[in-house]
Structure 1
Amino acid sequence: MQPLCIRDIEQFASENLSKNALSYYNVGADDEETLRDNVEIFKRIRIRPRMLIDVTNVDLSTTILGRKIEMPIGISPTAMQKLAHPDGEIATAQAAKFMKTCMTLSTYSTTSIEDVGVASGDGLRWFQLYVSPDRELTRNFVHRAERSGFKALVVTVDVPVAGNRRKEIRQGFDLPPHLHLANFSSNSFKGVDTEVENSGWSNNYQMQIDGSITWESISWLQTITSLQVIVKGILTAEDASEAIRRGIKAIWISNHGGRQLDGVPTAIEVLPEIVEAVKEQAEIYVDGGFRLGTDVFKALALGARAVFIGRPILWGLCYNGSDGVKKVLQLLKEELQRTMQLAGCTSIGDITPSSVIYAINFSKI
């Protein structure tokens, strides 16, 4: 039976992914409160539909950092995609190109920056980056991304230390021997004095964590690249305002899929305060818990330029490789289009704060 929604594809993946893969892909930090909240939060927001509007033609296209995409739904960085399907990141890149949207490649991909660049061709792609304690290693990643046609750096700033993911620890997750972190292959590091090849998931992960990273690190990064720098992992108006002061033109609101600090707000909860703080000086993207086109609509109404999805992409890979990723994106696109038609919106610009209202908890009245 063909999947009718993301939940159908999630169910398929839960039944077919290995326990090892599930212990990495689907877990959150500590009690997983934030992991659950990311999905549940959308129930607290209602859509206010307008009637008697001609919705025969609906335009879902928008731009991100000046590049047109056919829908305001992109792909978040997710690590080690070959755990879900042998084609891994290549399949995801090809699906993103087919759907004319943006793919963000993880530092911890099981396919190299260069190979994804070739597979993506002229498709829009960004590279997710951790500022490593080894700045030459960081510089190497940046230059490889530039040479491979990536258009922006998505700098993850919410990992000064690793989150406490108990389920992953209990499972004893590690990368299977037939896979490797392709971006850490020693032949990719000309002139960099570091032992990285075959050092395993845990070693490479620890090597990338830098508890000393500050806003000065972001400013340094801006001096070594011509690519736009996006900061990912922002959850407060204060940090969004600092990003603006540093010349950042795109802010990615994220709680890391509930995998870092448990008990923090969801992206949707802090989106309005960050929109107010930024005042259109930067584009705002969000991720976390998007499973329906109505979820996307609600985020756009609250001020997001685009939303990005992570786990559903992995489930789509498991379901049917590149075609599975296309299916995930197509389902969300169709749901968003239908939502817009039923809400009386014919373009992304028609979706405004007045398009939604917060649900009332009648039990407390």
Structure 2
Amino acid sequence: MLAARTFRSFSSSVRRATRGVSSRVRPQVAASGQPWTAGIITAGVVIGSYAGYTILNPVRLDAPDRKAPKPSEAAPRHIPYEEVQKHNTRESCWVIIDGQVYDATSVLEWHPGGAAVILRNAGKDATKAFVPIHPPNTLQHLPMEAHIGPVDPATIPEDANKPTEDEIRVAEARQNLPPPSAAINLHDIEILAEKVLTRTAWAYYRSTADDEATYFENSNAFKRFWFRPRVMNKVSQISTATTLFGIPSSLPIFICPAALYRLGHPDGEMNAVRAAGQEGIIQGISNNASCSTEECVSAKLPGQGLVFQLYLNKDRRASEALVKKIEAQGFKAIMLTVDSAVPGKRELDQRAKGEDFNDGPSTFGKSESSGLGVAHAISGYQDPDILWDDIPWLRRITKLPIIIKGVQCVEDAEKAFEEYGVKAIILSNHGGRELDYSPAPMTILYELYQRRPDLLKKNEVYIDGGVRRGTDVLKALCLGARGSASGGRSFMREEIETGMRLLGVTSLDQLRPELLSYMDKRLGQPERRSNRS
């Protein structure tokens, strides 16, 4: 089972993630233990804004070599902590990362997350702020003189790296995790993930826009469709194999790209790539992934399909260079995301006010971004002015198929296919994180089925948002979708296979509209609940 495999790979990471926490609360994971957190994270961030900078400058953040830069010959053997503390201004800004002292003064001018986040850690140990959101080789290509040398551990105050209350809480929660078999659906994993993630990480992953109406409607929309099963068919042997985006897949689902995997797991997107490869499904890698594309490619199996999600940079030269790089690395398609021109008002993320992300630049470079949360802090490079004319531009610079992620009405679906000839579209409202009261993907799919069934027959349409059960996937396929983004692969396989048998079908091409009834009223509860009895 996929969940079990990803859980097992987390055991060594728990020890790294809780480094510095007292032995009183440090989690003890048995050799056969199977931790939870990797199973819930289905969303990925290299801080995406770094991509634009590094392409136009000599600092390469995506190089495969992970070794830290060597100190200059003039560097002292050890730097007293007291000396580091003196360099805490814009004119002289030093930070400690993994026991090494770096002069970050020059970085203040171009840091995509803004100067404030660095200055907040000036003269201090910035490891906790740095490691979760940067590829491990980020420091390697800084100028040699930027590496001052190792900090003298004997001079570090005992409380300098004292664990916070939140870190202690997380360590204790991880120590008390039940075995993976205790979870039988995605909701169960979500409950446990909230306990073992930091407050900042959970708030970023879970936060949605405004009153969360769209977030809940994404799931509730599926409840208005009920099956019309056909019985007395031979269903002992079934097949869930299909092709998504022109890539073979063992299931009609894919891992949708998202940001900041390393906030939840030190292996970040690499862990998801491994799991996707073992399960035979497609992984989307975010423009804002916390692992480099080299790392992601190195983790995949031979023949495994990876799709790259692209946020267009305000500087198109940066996006062009990035597209050429991922094409050379063997990515199979580009997923151009268009449903998040600006960050939505994600209040849970804002209330968490993660100290390491506050005061970053807003999308338009305004100072009012202070305290708006992780989503605002990482999106400063993204261009809000993505136009239909960008599709022909993309075609001129790459031969990769283009997928438009974020279509939210029939008119734009028609435009994408009939005027611009894209490979596929994904009906999505960014998981309810952007415009509240935007329509649920299942609702758009139903409208498309009613008004333009020919488009569904001739083209590839996918959905992203609200898929919590295998039955949700089957409902979308009945209406003509080719597949959906989803989390919890092992749960989904079991639920899809069981649902197919009980519907009386043995292959995905047998799913058709006649197997559904639309109930024009709200059914069920406003929030998904687990069935633990």
Whether TM-score is above 0.5 comes out as yes
1:146 equivalent in alignment to 2:320: no
Partners of 1:160 and 1:176 lie apart in 2 by 20
Residue pair 2:343, 2:375 contacting (<8 A) in 1 also: no
Q: Quickly say closer, same or farther: Cα 1:201–1:37, change in 2 above 3 A.
A: closer
Partners of 2:330 and 2:357 lie apart in 1 by 30
CA shift, 1:176, in A, is 7.2
1:45 equivalent in alignment to 2:225: yes
Q: Quickly say closer, same or farther: Cα 1:202–1:33, change in 2 above 3 A.
A: closer
Correspondence for 1:340: 500
One-letter amino acid matched to 2:431 = G
Q: Quickly say closer, same or farther: Cα 1:38–1:127, change in 2 above 3 A.
A: same
One-letter amino acid matched to 1:292 = R
Residue pair 2:349, 2:375 contacting (<8 A) in 1 also: no
Residue pair 2:223, 2:522 contacting (<8 A) in 1 also: no
Gap runs ≥5 in structure 1: 178-199, 313-327
Partners of 1:175 and 1:160 lie apart in 2 by 24
1:172 equivalent in alignment to 2:353: yes
Correspondence for 1:195: none
What SS class does the counterpart of residue 307 from structure 1 fall into? strand
> Larger helix proportion, structure 1 or 2?
1
Correspondence for 1:90: 270
2:213 to 11, 33, 37: 33
One-letter amino acid matched to 1:147 = A
CA shift, 1:274, in A, is 2.9
Correspondence for 2:7: none
Correspondence for 1:281: 458
Partners of 1:270 and 1:148 lie apart in 2 by 34
Residue pair 2:204, 2:375 contacting (<8 A) in 1 also: no
Correspondence for 2:242: 62
Query: CA offsets per residue over residues 52-103 of structure 1, 9 Å max, x none?
Result: 1000111101112332111101100110101111111000000001110100
CA shift, 1:281, in A, is 3.3
Alignment of 1:320-339 (within 5 A): 328-339=488-499
Q: Quickly say closer, same or farther: Cα 1:214–1:174, change in 2 above 3 A.
A: farther
Residue pair 2:309, 2:337 contacting (<8 A) in 1 also: yes
One-letter amino acid matched to 1:304 = A
Partners of 1:362 and 1:298 lie apart in 2 by 16
Query: CA offsets per residue over residues 247-271 of structure 1, 9 Å max, x none?
Result: 1020111010000100011000010
Correspondence for 1:14: 194
Q: CA RMSD in A?
A: 1.9
CA shift, 1:362, in A, is 9.7
Bigger Rg, structure 1 or 2: 2
What SS class does the counterpart of residue 238 from structure 1 fall into? helix
One-letter amino acid matched to 1:285 = Y
Partners of 2:339 and 2:319 lie apart in 1 by 17
Partners of 1:128 and 1:140 lie apart in 2 by 14
What SS class does the counterpart of residue 205 from structure 1 fall into? coil
Residue pair 1:24, 1:173 contacting (<8 A) in 2 also: no
Partners of 1:172 and 1:153 lie apart in 2 by 33
1:236 equivalent in alignment to 2:409: yes
Q: Quickly say closer, same or farther: Cα 1:60–1:279, change in 2 above 3 A.
A: closer
What SS class does the counterpart of residue 280 from structure 1 fall into? helix
1:4 equivalent in alignment to 2:178: no
Partners of 1:148 and 1:257 lie apart in 2 by 29
1:250 equivalent in alignment to 2:410: no
Aligned length: 323
% identical equivalent positions: 37
One-letter amino acid matched to 2:459 = A
